[in-house]
Structure 1
Amino acid sequence: MTLGEHFREFRRRIVIAAIAIALGGAVGWFVYGRVMRWLQQPLLAVAAERHVSVDEVALNFGANGVTDAFGIKLKIALWIGLILASPVWLWQIWRFLAPGLTKREKRIGRGFIAAAVPLFALGCYVSTFALPNAVKFLLGITPAGAVNYTNAEAYVSFTTKFILAFGIAFLLPVFLVGLNTVHVFPGRIMLKGWRVAVMVIFVFAAMMSPSPDAWSMLALALPMVALYFAAVGISLFMDHRRAVRDRPAWADVPDDERSAL
């Protein structure tokens, strides 16, 4: 493709992904009430543990104006749409990259994209175990005798970004293998930098799960480390297959016989 054709293709993929997210957002608009009650469960758990009134941890929807409630509902709806439409926008990312690949690489890539959706869903699911600990820790800093009237918009932004961060983090092996498939990131480079990768993963897990116990951090970090090494193993295998496939037919012939030929 020419540069202009690449931009037009990119725009087309963006439009398709945006339409899918909008349709998912329409579903999210109707289930907003149930999702909002679920997001407030960590706050209610803190109130029960502290033996305080629910009003002391209630969300304040009118902190900045009368439009806050509508804006929060719209934000939740689009967040739900982003999650529901994940198969579509992940596929669009793949289709944008696919024209530059060989038939063999396309077949391999489809399997990885098929794994991306459940991995994204798994990351979002795992985040639900860390979210209550994060909310409990952050609200626990409130001094005794003080009341924490939580701003609804700030709380919704925190919880939605928290969950999406875990979903995207679990896509790490898919993107690593994808970069390897297009010959950008060899497996030996991933293996060589495993110490740095593990350190970054643990720092990320510590930041996303600010709980006083180490078990919450380990519960998040260990699956990500396992996924990283799985991506390394797959990339090394693919590099070996490519090396064998691209090796000349006379590569195994001894030097003296090759000279005679």
Structure 2
Amino acid sequence: MAGLLANLRNTLIVSFILALIIVAGYGMHNAAWDQIFWQGVFRWLHTLAGILWIGLLYYFNFVQIRKMPEIPAELKPGVSKYIAPEALFWFRWAALATWVMGVLLAWNRGFLIEAFTLGAMDGFQVPQHTFIGLGMWLATIMFINVWAFIWPAQKIALGIVDGDADAKAAAGRKAMLFSRINTLLSVPMLVTMTMNQTIFG
């Protein structure tokens, strides 16, 4: 067992095998691999990717950004050359997966356009569409921030892309500010994602 748990890849493979067995159980219990079943699958994948994305967002903001100034200069390359690039890899791909699964979930539930128009397609008469649409727009802004601003700036700040000391400092500040925007938007976004399903079903 220790051999399995000592290897992250093997741990995840077994975890996904167990998860897929449970997913198949839901499918057999449902007696139809229908729209509701796929809604459950998309919700699971959306939540899984979202936990990874927002978890890393909070790691960067609650831990790494705050503690970097306290790390001795000779130790900082350990973070910037090894930890940060790996965390940013999972961060940006989890953001993409979360957004795609969220769009698929809204499409499967039949309110993608209504949500993206914040309920305008319904004359603003369906609050469920307005609230979930607000959350979807907040998440979309956060997703765009990751790929259009945070990741390009981090590539310069971390030296993945060439830049002098001033360019690296400016890029690091830009990445931090957009990461803080995402942190600011994450709490209200999570309100819509969690309460909408509870209040409106």
TM-score grouping bracket, smaller chain normalisation: 0.3 to 0.5
Larger Rg: 1
TM-score by length of 2: 0.35
More helix by share: 2
